[in-house]
Structure 1
Amino acid sequence: MNPLLSAEQAVLGAVLLDPGQLGHLNWLAPDHFYRLVHQALFAALRKLRTDGHPALTTDKAVPLSWVTDAVTEAGRHVRGLTASYAHTLVTACPRPAHAPVYGRMVLEGAIHRTVAEHAIRLHQAARADALRGEVDGALHQADVLHGVLTDLARRWGTEPRPVPPTTVEVTAPAASAESANRASEDERFLLAVLVDRPAAMGDVADWLRPGDFADPAHGQLYRCLGALHHRGEPIDRLTVLWEAQRRGLLTDGTLTGAQVTAICDGLAPGNAEWLGEQVMRSSITRTAAASAQAIRALAENNALGPGPLINHALHSLGPLVEARSRWQIANDTPAATPAAAPTPDGPSTAQVRAALARSTTRPAQAPSEQPGRLTAPIPVRSPARGHN
Structure 2
Amino acid sequence: MNPLLRAEQAVLGAVLLDPGQLSHLDWLAPDHFYRPVHQALFAALRKLKNDSHPALTAEKSVPLSWVTDAVDEAGLHVRGLTAVYAHTLVSACPRSAHAPVYGRMVLEGAIHRSVAAHAIRLHQAARADALQGGVEGSLHYADVLTGVLDDLARRWGTEPRPVTPATPPATVAAVLPPVRADQTAEDERFLLAVLAERPKAMDKVVGWLRSGDFADPAHGQLYRCLAALHHRGEPIDRITLLWEAQRRGLLTDGTLSGDQLTAICDGVGAGSAEWLGEQILRASVARTAAVSARAVHALAENEALPPGQLINHALHALGPLDEVRTRWQAASGQPAPKPSTADPSPPGPPTAQVRAALTRSAPRRFPGPTEQRGSAPTPASARSPAHGHS
Shorter-chain TM-score above 0.5: yes
Tell me by how many angstroms 1:354 deviates.
Answer: 4.1
Q: 1:79 — aligned with what?
A: 79
The residue correspondences of 1:286-305 to structure 2 (distance < 5 A) are 286-305=287-306
2: CA distance between counterparts of 1:204 and 1:5?
54
The residue correspondences of 1:54-93 to structure 2 (distance < 5 A) are 54-93=54-93
2: CA distance between counterparts of 1:259 and 1:266?
11
Letter in 1 for 2:284: S
1: CA distance between counterparts of 2:10 and 2:385?
17
Q: 2:124 — aligned with what?
A: 124
Q: 1:31 — aligned with what?
A: 31
> Residue 160 of structure 2 aligns to a residue in which SS?
coil
Percent identity reads 70
Q: Contact (CA 8 Å) 1:27, 1:347: kept in 2 or not? A: no
Q: 1:241 — aligned with what?
A: 242
Q: 2:322 — aligned with what?
A: 321
1: CA distance between counterparts of 2:323 and 2:255?
26
Q: Contact (CA 8 Å) 2:238, 2:262: kept in 1 or not? A: yes
Q: Contact (CA 8 Å) 1:156, 1:355: kept in 2 or not? A: no
Tell me by how many angstroms 1:355 deviates.
Answer: 5.4
Q: 1:361-380 CA distances to partner (integer Å, 9 max, x unpaired)? A: 422223353423779x968x
2: CA distance between counterparts of 1:297 and 1:274?
35
Report the CA distance shift for 1:129/1:349 in structure 2 as closer, same or farther (over 3 A).
closer
The residue correspondences of 1:1-388 to structure 2 (distance < 5 A) are 1-167=1-167, 168-336=169-337, 348-349=352-353, 351-354=355-358, 356=360, 359-368=361-370, 369-370=372-373, 371-372=376-377
Q: 1:185-212 CA distances to partner (integer Å, 9 max, x unpaired)? A: 1100000010111110000000000000
Which TM-score applies when normalising by structure 2? Answer: 0.91
Structure 2 unaligned spans of 5+: 341-349
How many residues matched? 370
> Residue 21 of structure 2 aligns to a residue in which SS?
helix
Q: Contact (CA 8 Å) 1:133, 1:282: kept in 2 or not? A: yes
> Residue 172 of structure 2 aligns to a residue in which SS?
coil
Letter in 2 for 1:212: D
Q: Contact (CA 8 Å) 1:103, 1:355: kept in 2 or not? A: no
> Residue 304 of structure 1 aligns to a residue in which SS?
coil
Letter in 2 for 1:299: A
2: CA distance between counterparts of 1:126 and 1:298?
18
> Residue 159 of structure 2 aligns to a residue in which SS?
coil
Q: Contact (CA 8 Å) 1:100, 1:354: kept in 2 or not? A: no
Q: Contact (CA 8 Å) 2:242, 2:261: kept in 1 or not? A: yes
Q: 1:337-381 CA distances to partner (integer Å, 9 max, x unpaired)? A: 699xxxxxx99456412455xx03422223353423779x968xx
Tell me by how many angstroms 1:158 deviates.
Answer: 1.0
Letter in 2 for 1:312: H
Tell me by how many angstroms 1:159 deviates.
Answer: 1.3
Tell me by how many angstroms 1:334 deviates.
Answer: 1.8
Letter in 1 for 2:275: W
> Residue 367 of structure 1 aligns to a residue in which SS?
coil
2: CA distance between counterparts of 1:355 and 1:225?
58
1: CA distance between counterparts of 2:282 and 2:2?
43
Report the CA distance shift for 1:215/1:292 in structure 2 as closer, same or farther (over 3 A).
same
Tell me by how many angstroms 1:27 deviates.
Answer: 1.0
> Residue 80 of structure 1 aligns to a residue in which SS?
coil
Tell me by how many angstroms 1:136 deviates.
Answer: 1.0
Q: Contact (CA 8 Å) 1:172, 1:287: kept in 2 or not? A: no
Q: Contact (CA 8 Å) 2:55, 2:66: kept in 1 or not? A: yes
Letter in 1 for 2:248: R
Tell me by how many angstroms 1:270 deviates.
Answer: 1.7
Report the CA distance shift for 1:338/1:95 in structure 2 as closer, same or farther (over 3 A).
farther
Structure 1 unaligned spans of 5+: 340-345, 380-388
Letter in 1 for 2:87: H
Letter in 1 for 2:216: D
2: CA distance between counterparts of 1:302 and 1:130?
31
Q: Contact (CA 8 Å) 2:12, 2:42: kept in 1 or not? A: yes
Which TM-score applies when normalising by structure 1? Answer: 0.91
Report the CA distance shift for 1:289/1:349 in structure 2 as closer, same or farther (over 3 A).
closer
Report the CA distance shift for 1:172/1:338 in structure 2 as closer, same or farther (over 3 A).
farther
Report the CA distance shift for 1:17/1:283 in structure 2 as closer, same or farther (over 3 A).
same
2: CA distance between counterparts of 1:58 and 1:348?
30
2: CA distance between counterparts of 1:363 and 1:3?
25
Tell me by how many angstroms 1:75 deviates.
Answer: 0.3
Q: 1:123-176 CA distances to partner (integer Å, 9 max, x unpaired)? A: 111111111111011011111111211121122111111111122131222222
Letter in 1 for 2:66: W
1: CA distance between counterparts of 2:54 and 2:369?
23
1: CA distance between counterparts of 2:291 and 2:186?
22
Q: Contact (CA 8 Å) 1:147, 1:338: kept in 2 or not? A: no
